[in-house]
Amino acid sequence: MSYFLMPLLLLDKLKNSKINFIKMTKILITGASGQLGSVLTKKLQDKYGVDNVIASDLRINPSFNGCFEVLDATDFDALSEIVLKFEITQIYHLAAILSANGEKIPLNTWDINMKSLFNVLEVSRLTNIDKVFFPSSIAVYGNDAPKTETPQDYVVAPSTVYGISKVAGENWAHYYYERYGLDIRSIRYPGVIGHQSLPGGGTTDYAIDIFHKAVKNEVFECFLEATATLPMIYMDDTIRATIELMEAPKENITVRTSYNLSGMSFSPEQLTQSIQKIYPDFKIVYKPDFRQKIAESWPSSIDDSSARSDWNWKPQFDIDAMASVMIEELKLKYITELKIS
Ligand code: SER
């Protein structure tokens, strides 16, 4: 359906809907079965109550507890129906194709990432959604940007279709804020490392896979070179940053494209050394593939002073603290699985 027709149809539905004027916080998460979505959903359920968080994705995780709607976020009618049905007041729009998978079918990636974002933006302005969260990425920077402490305002000229879709998304977020006053907030996530879920098709995925191999006492084959240093962040810090940004007073938010966010920075070689402090015999071999080129186009560290000054961002996990929790948690996971099977 054309974007021109959408508002008319939706306004029609709105007139017949039972939207309450005293609004409770009701959150919709797209991409809720994904790496970040599955953890963020639980955190938001704890904070706002299970019934006030609607998780959505193309597929449900078998272990999911709570309210779930099967949703293809590129389908405007399906998205708006859920927003109206549950009287949604906030949307966390996490559904997207990541950097490495994105390169396999570039135009498809553009289509999915942008269409789903446009749908979220339009439904949000038409139903007066209070707040929207849109994740951007370190992938917005390209080869020309300074590699270390990349500044917030440096020119964004990405080299992947994923990065291009994030830059466009940041600009559209800024446009909807300026033009319609939509309170949309965003973070440029570094590579996110967590034990709870597996990532899907990113360039930073190696930093999670490596822990699974270490705990299972297997050799890890790395698709990046030993020295490929990238910005990374532990899951707990990521979730805390997201919620802190969303809860910050509106007047503190000076960046309406997307905030740089820093957790830690390391290369596969440095991560291996950190794991070897716990598993001295752990081994890695390097077989770089097309993802090495993507990694080379990204910063190795990020300047996040705007996030620090606007909403007091401060990471808590460094590489060794992260490695030690990852190993403890994955050990527990594999022991539990062994006991069950
Ligand atoms: N972790 C993401 C990726 O590798 C970057 O935002 O695609």
Mean pLDDT for the stretch of residues 33-61 = 97
Please confirm, yes or no, whether 189 is among the known catalytic residues. Answer: no
For the Cβ of 137 lying below 6 angstroms from any atom of ligand 1, the answer is yes
Instruction: Kindly give the number of the ligand 1 atom that is closest to the alpha carbon of 137.
Output: 6
Q: In the structure encoding, which two tokens stand for residue 82, read together? A: 């859920």
Quick check: 339 pLDDT over 50?
Answer: yes
Give the side-chain half-sphere CA count within 13 A for 15. 5
Mean pLDDT for the stretch of residues 244-260 = 98
- Atom 6, ligand 1: which residue's CA is nearest? 137
Averaged pLDDT of the chain: 94
Percentage of the chain exceeding pLDDT 90: 89
- Atom 2, ligand 1: which residue's CA is nearest? 202
Check: CB of residue 322 under 8 Å from CB of residue 234: yes
**What's the predicted TM-score (pTM) here?**
0.93
Rounded to a whole number, what is the largest CA-CA distance in the chain?
A: 66
What is the model's pLDDT at position 20? 47
Quick check: 308 pLDDT over 80?
Answer: yes
Residue 17 binned pLDDT confidence (cut-offs 50, 70, 90): low
For the Cβ of 163 lying below 6 angstroms from any atom of ligand 1, the answer is no
- Atom 3, ligand 1: which residue's CA is nearest? 202
> Cα dist. 307→205, 259, 337 in Å?
25, 6, 39
Quick check: 18 pLDDT over 50?
Answer: no
Closest listed residue to residue 328, CA positions, set 282, 283, 264, 275: 275
For the Cβ of 139 lying below 6 angstroms from any atom of ligand 1, the answer is yes
- Which of 94, 98, 113, 262 has most ligand 1 atoms within 8 Å of its beta carbon, as the pocket-test mutant? 98
